[in-house]
A and B are shown apart, each in its own frame.
Chain A
Amino acid sequence: SQQGEEDPQALSIQEGENATMNCSYKTSINNLQWYRQNSGRGLVHLILIRSNEREKHSGRLRVTLDTSKKSSSLLITASRAADTASYFCATDASFQKLVFGTGTRLLVSP
């Protein structure tokens, strides 16, 4: 299966701290995407990084990609309670579909 593995499965931090979550995948990719899912809701796209990029920033988000290790990391700086959600990486398994990782559940306490 192409499905990515995310680590850690769950992460609990205080507001203001940084949160780092990692994603590993198995086959070559064109790009990797990160999505957020609030409890009981749909997924929201956060950031896309292409296979020829190593790092990308968007606001408080920083994503890195290491294609030699088939891994990516998502860093959320200065976390807020509103960042509490599940975070999924997704890779383009084939031309027309994404495969999602197992997800990291982030809890940010005030």
Chain B
Amino acid sequence: DAMVIQNPRYQVTQFGKPVTLSCSQTLNHNVMYWYQQKSSQAPKLLFHYYDKDFNNEADTPDNFQSRRPNTSFCFLDIRSPGLGDAAMYLCATSRDVASDTQYFGPGTRLTVL
């Protein structure tokens, strides 16, 4: 049973063309995270929601936005993708605080042409 679902699995966009990645969860967890992972690197946290409270990392570019319309869904919007934004984007959830286990989706591989 899929617990954290990401769509699409692969996304190709053009330089500067807005793109939205989606994540849904069936775990009813309070916290949802978006990570960016480039090849052979550690996942880098972009932002997270604790319930409806949005927490942006200080070094996350303004080009990246997020929405969480309800408990189950969270979206990552990239307003004007650049070539440097090509990466794997991982969504994760945790029941409560970061000390809890995080459950990851399979990721969306973004290609920017």
Contact = CB atoms under 8 A, between A and B. Distances in A.
Contacts, number: 64
B101 A42 contact: no
Contacts of B4: 42
Contact of A98 (B6, B102, B106, B109): B102
A25 interface: no
Interface stretch (A14-22, A75-83, A99-107): A99-107
| A contacts with B: majority SS | strand
Interface residues of B, number: 26
Task: Name the residue in B6, B43, B45, B109 with the highest tally of chain A Cβ atoms < 10 Å from its Cβ.
Answer: B43
A33 interface: yes
Contacts of A33: 101-102
Contact of B107 (A30, A41, A95, A97): A41
Interface in B24-52: 31, 33, 40-43, 45, 48, 50
A22 to B, nearest CB: 15
Given A96-B48, A96-B50, A103-B42, A45 B98 contact: no
B90 A96 contact: no
B42 A30 contact: no
